[in-house]
Amino acid sequence: MASVQFKKGLNGKKTYYVVFSHRGRHRWIKAGCQADAKRLKKEIESLAENQRLEKLGITTRNKRIDDFFREYLEYISLRTSPNTVKRYRAAINPFIAFLGMFHSSVRHLSQLKQEHIESFQRERLKSVELKTVSDGVKNGIHKSKRLPLPQTVNFEVGVLRSAFIWAQDHNWLAVVPTRKIKRLKPTAKRTIRVLSVEECLLLLKAGQELERKDERFEVCTLMFQFILNSGLRSGEICNLTWQDIDLGKGQIHIQEKPGWTPKTNARSFYLNETCLEILAALDESDDYVFKSPTGRQFQPDDLRRILIKMAKEAGLEELTRVHDLRHTFSALWQMRGVDRGTMATILGHEDESTTKIYTHQTSEHLKEAINRVRVG
């Protein structure tokens, strides 16, 4: 914002100034008469923001981009959960990889411009090479992995925006390069695949048949059966330890532990007989409930790869997400009359409106419901 002000001297003569305000800082530029002040104000306002700040003497300290993001993640780690830090790091890494691949001369924050962010959006949606580099060393074949969706890129740009605002607060950036960036139009959301009871049994049977080829399928089949009977997230079941289980009371406790934090607040609920039977058949130890045959902790990506193989064996090739088993659990239990409030407690939803998203009915259930009442 700029305005024309004047000051009176001892002799009563007016001297005009152009006053600019920027983030609580004011710059008074002497202009002389009122006409000169108005002309100077118009001239400065016509400049690009970075040129304007330079003319006003508002300079920024030079900061290397890699040093900045390292400091920003350290700042975030003191104020958020480890999972959030992991998500932020995963959002920042593609941008750093993008600069290295397409704009290697851009090394300082002061060099970043709006066109760099817009170019990042375009390349992120189409460059398999950028995805490969930004993913780094990761299990699986990159060519078989889909490029990120627009909503994923929107999240990444949102993380960058938060980081750049923090940089501006520390006087490392004069202008936030994401300020005028438009969000990408999101694609249609992926269809949730809810299984019927019969399809659940087909999936579990396929896992049992695959055990002969790979003994990991035996453990993962039990894990998927456990999810179908408890609604756990893949991260929750991978990090489930025997300290989280109270076999005497038949309860499970989803709670924070070193190196892992639940997506939502800690919660406890009772397990059904199927889950208790699965636990009773396992060897109790001092660490994870479900482990690979070599004693290694499973990761969510491990479960997804094995689920895809099991689903293909069962003729359910459209089932590709472990999270759909959580949706299936919610749908089956709600179709059998479990109220939404109870489901919210079990699923760990702080707001029951979230649980509404997990309400699905099969066509058979809807057909049965409509035929319960007949008039005439």
Least confident of 56-60, 183-187, 298-302: 56-60
Closest residue by Cα to residue 171 from 1, 27, 23, 65: 23
Check residue 375 and give its pLDDT: 55
Enumerate residues 6+ apart whose C-beta is below 8 A from 179.
Answer: 114, 161
The pTM of the full predicted model, rounded to 2 decimals, is: 0.63
> Does 193 have pLDDT greater than 50?
yes
Q: What are 134-158's pLDDT values in tens digits?
A: 887 554 444 445 789 999 999 999 9
Mean pLDDT of 337-350: 80
> Does 59 have pLDDT greater than 60?
no
Q: What are 286-315's pLDDT values in tens digits?
A: 899 999 988 899 999 899 999 999 999 999
DSSP assignment of 166-194 equals HHHHTTS-SS-TTTTPPPPPPPPPPPP-P
> Does 372 have pLDDT greater than 60?
no
**Residue pair 252/245 in contact by the 8 Å Cβ criterion:** yes
The DSSP 8-state label assigned to residue 319 in this structure reads: -
Q: Is 20 exposed, middle or buried (0-12, 13-18, 19+ CB in 10 A)?
A: buried
